[in-house]
Amino acid sequence: MTTKPHWENVYETKSAHEVSWYRPRLDVSLQLIDSVLTDPGSAIIDIGGGESTLVDDLIRSGRSDVTVLDISQAALDATKARLGASADSVSWISADITTVDLGFGSYDLWHDRAVFHFLTRPEDRDAYIQRVRQAVKPQGYIVVATFGPDGPLKCSGLDIVRYDSNSLVVAFGDGFDLLDKTTEIHKTPWDSEQEFVYCLMRKS
């Protein structure tokens, strides 16, 4: 997995609006989450949430059990400052997703937009998926978005792995059923385009 110093440097030297993956609202993610979670008390974890606005919209919609995990403490601190008093209702974890202990059956839904594709080593992907298997409840949900087949080959100066919906489901292995998939053409803050593939899966 990419080292913590790399990501601390990214978030200490760039504002939220200066990273390519920034969106003012994660509409696709929100639609997929709302399609399967009707209970506002369902436990959601946002992997690599950093300075993402997803947590803002989850809180605004009345969701009461939200966790944000990021390897960068600087990113989490920036989001806490943005949220103000609302940050107290969120659980914050600064950790490497390939090594963190998230407990067993802790979450109804696991969300990841643009972390998994940074895992270029098989052992890191295996470690990530093991955490999904442990932390997501039986019959829980996973929303994962990566660069698609026509997406960039690098991001933030790092190599990535591109996926289509089939290869992304295959990467997760047995025990995950594809419920929905979609492609988004994301416009970066400087108007270039990036293809993202989203998969909504259910854990057995």
Measured CA to CA, the distance from residue 118 to residue 151 in angstroms comes to 13
Strands 158-159 and 176-187: unpaired
- Determine the residue type at 97: I
- Determine the residue type at 36: V
Question: With the C-alpha atoms ordered 133, 20, 23, 71, is the resulting torsion angle positive or negative?
Answer: positive
Residue pointed to by tokens 């760039």? 14
What confidence tier does 190 reach under pLDDT thresholds 50, 70, 90? confident
- In this prediction, residue 20 carries a pLDDT of 62
Does 17 score more than 80 pLDDT?
no
177: helix, coil or strand? strand
pLDDT average, residue stretch 20-38 = 90
Torsion angles phi and psi, residue 177, rounded to 5? -105, 130
pLDDT average, residue stretch 164-183 = 97
pLDDT for 119-150, tens place per residue? 999 999 999 999 999 999 999 999 999 999 99
Kindly report whether the global pTM for this prediction surpasses the value 0.75. yes
pLDDT for 86-124, tens place per residue? 999 999 999 999 999 999 999 999 999 999 999 999 999
Does 1 score more than 50 pLDDT?
no
Measured CA to CA, the distance from residue 70 to residue 179 in angstroms comes to 26
Which residues are CB-neighbours of 169 under 8 A, at least 6 positions away? 176, 178, 199, 201
Measured CA to CA, the distance from residue 195 to residue 116 in angstroms comes to 15
- In this prediction, residue 189 carries a pLDDT of 67
Beta bridge partners of 185: 195
Measured CA to CA, the distance from residue 157 to residue 166 in angstroms comes to 26
Range with the lowest mean pLDDT among 1-15, 92-106, 186-200? 1-15
